[in-house]
């Protein structure tokens, strides 16, 4: 029996997987899964080997101790007097494990250094990893169209909570975000924007230290505070453009969020 396959359905399915981070669908050599399974069964019947490697330091709750990496990031970030120095410090930093998990390069920012708005996404994807700039893939192009429609082109400094592509586009872990946070906070200090737009749940949760999902957080103003308490800024969470590509009906909500944001951004400041 032969099945007629609609090429548009195939294209749409591939686009769905690409959005989900699956960007390789074949290997160079055929894989014999039956032989793999048989080898696995044989291995399971053997007693496990005794491995005498040092154990990673664990802290309460089972998470790896990231305090050394955070302290190193904080020292490196504090030494940077401008964004070029910060970009170089990020690229040279070895404390975030994402750097060694297949990322091609560090991805820091794009946009004017004195932008009144800072947009913070989750982390670089495949296109960003290749091009070295945040939000340049399909989701980024949608973000740019939305910013243009809202009159925000060239008024936003765009970056992410982590600076290396998580493997397979998985969500960055809170530990990875915490290690990169000192660099992000330094970027906020150097750009000195009037407000932040937090794009997607992983960004909103990390920046605001909240547990709710993005659908509960979006469209509401929060106060972002830096770890040392010295910086405070209004922050508006919104839906991630990658989500909007999958759920176009949600664009209306994202547009409402952008209007909420521009209204505050363009509100004349009251004289002190």
| Interface with ligand URA, residue 200, by CB under 6 A | yes
Distance (Å, whole) CA 132 – CA 109: 9
**Stretch binding ligand URA (CB under 6 A), from 26-34, 73-81, 119-127, 224-232:** 119-127
Q: Should residue 201 be labelled a site residue for ligand URA when binding is judged by CB under 6 A? A: no
Binding flag, residue 135, ligand URA (CB under 6 A): yes
Q: Which of residues 228-247 bind ligand URA (CB under 6 A)?
A: 242
Q: At what angle do helices 67-78 and 83-92 cross, to 10 degrees?
A: 150
Task: Tokens for 215, please give them.
Answer: 């659908």
Return the closest-CA partner of residue 90 out of 193, 187, 204, 200.
Answer: 187
Q: Which residue among 19, 128, 129, 257 contacts ligand URA (CB under 6 A)?
A: 128
In angstroms, the CA 89 to CA 219 distance is 34
Q: CA 221 to CA 236: how far, in whole Å?
A: 5
Stretch that binds ligand URA, among 133-141, 146-154, 178-186, 252-260 (CB under 6 A): 133-141
The kind and range of the H/E element at 197 are strand 195-199
Calpha distance 236→42 (Å, rounded): 54
Helix (H) or strand (E) holding 110: none
Q: Alpha-carbon distance 128 to 70, whole Å? A: 24
Which of 111, 124, 193, 237 binds ligand URA (CB under 6 A)? It is 124
Among 111, 134, 166, 201, binds ligand URA (CB under 6 A): 134
The pair of three-digit structure tokens given for residue 229, joined into one six-digit string: 């308490």
- β-pairing, 232-238 vs 117-121, is unpaired
Beta bridge partners of 129: none
Choice between 18 and 74, CB closer to ligand URA: 18
Angle at 16 between CA 219 and CA 126, to 5 degrees: 80
Binding segment (CB under 6 A) for ligand URA, from list 3-11, 72-80, 122-130, 171-179 = 122-130
Binding mask 138-177 for ligand URA (x = CB under 6 A): -xx-------------------x-----------------
Nearer to ligand URA, 74 or 241 (CB): 241
Binding range to ligand URA, per CB under 6 A, among 41-49, 94-102, 115-123, 212-220: 115-123
- Interacting span for ligand URA (CB under 6 A) from 31-39, 110-118, 129-137, 213-221: 129-137
Which window, 1-9, 56-64, 130-138, 253-261, contacts ligand URA (CB under 6 A)?
A: 130-138
Q: With contacts defined by CB under 6 A, how many residues of the chain interact with ligand URA?
A: 14
d(CA 79, CA 151): 35
* φ and ψ at residue 14, rounded to 5 degrees: -65, -40
Contacts with ligand URA, 35-74, as mask; x by CB under 6 A: ----------------------------------------
Binding residues for ligand URA (CB under 6 A): 121-125, 128, 134-135, 137, 139-140, 160, 200, 242
């Amino acid at each position: 029996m032969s099945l007629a396959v609609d090429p548009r359905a195939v294209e749409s399915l591939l686009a769905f997987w690409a959005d989900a981070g699956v960007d390789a669908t074949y290997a160079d050599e055929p894989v014999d899964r039956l032989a793999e399974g048989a080898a696995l069964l044989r291995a399971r019947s053997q007693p496990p080997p005794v491995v005498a490697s040092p154990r990673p330091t664990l802290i309460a709750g089972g998470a790896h101790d990231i305090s050394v990496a955070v302290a190193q990031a904080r020292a490196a970030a504090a030494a940077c007097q401008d964004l070029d120095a910060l970009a170089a410090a990020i690229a040279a930093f070895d404390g975030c494990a994402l750097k060694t998990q297949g990322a091609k390069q560090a991805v820091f920012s794009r946009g004017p250094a004195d932008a009144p708005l800072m947009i913070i996404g989750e982390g670089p994807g495949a296109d960003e990893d290749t091009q070295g700039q945040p939000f340049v893939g399909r989701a980024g192009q949608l973000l740019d169209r939305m910013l243009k429609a809202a009159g925000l082109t060239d008024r936003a400094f765009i970056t992410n909570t982590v600076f290396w592509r998580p493997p397979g586009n998985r969500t960055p872990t809170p530990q990875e975000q915490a290690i990169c946070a000192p660099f992000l906070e330094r970027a906020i200090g150097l750009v000195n924007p009037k407000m932040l737009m937090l794009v997607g749940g992983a960004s909103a949760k990390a920046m605001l230290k909240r547990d709710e999902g993005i659908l509960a957080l979006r469209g509401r103003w929060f106060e972002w505070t830096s770890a040392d308490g010295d910086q405070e800024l209004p922050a508006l969470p919104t839906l991630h453009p990658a989500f909007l590509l999958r759920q176009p009906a949600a664009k209306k909500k994202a547009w409402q969020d952008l209007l909420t944001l521009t209204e505050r951004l363009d509100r004349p400041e009251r004289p002190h």
